[in-house]
Amino acid sequence: MNTMNTDELLNRLETLETRQAFQEDTIESLNAVIIQQQKDIDRLELKVGALQERMKQSGGNQPEMSAEEPPPPHY
């Protein structure tokens, strides 16, 4: 009976080690995705900042939008 418990424990230990290996792989994959997403966010923030600066510089060149626009001709 003692041998049965040892075999069962070894089997359970092997199962836990296998799960841990898969979890570590998943964590590494998710970390790579997060790193790429942060790079994308940083790049997009730079682009938005550049667009905001362009809008400020061309601020007087934009026509004023009226509060009420007439409906389009197809109405």
Q: Tell me what pLDDT residue 70 has.
A: 81
pTM of the entire predicted model:
0.60
**Residue matched to tokens 């964590």:** 27
**Residue matched to tokens 């362009």:** 54
Q: Identify whether 17 is part of a domain.
A: yes
- CA–CA distances in Å: residue 4 to residues 1, 9, 13, 49: 5, 8, 14, 67
Q: Identify whether 66 is part of a domain.
A: no
**Number of domains composing the chain:** 1
Cα–Cα distance, 24 to 26 (Å, whole number): 5
Q: Tell me what pLDDT residue 60 has.
A: 59
| Domain that residue 23 falls in | 1-42
Per residue in 16-47, pLDDT (tens digit) is 999 999 999 999 999 999 999 999 999 999 99
| Residue-averaged pLDDT of the chain | 89
- What is the pLDDT averaged over residues 10-20? 97
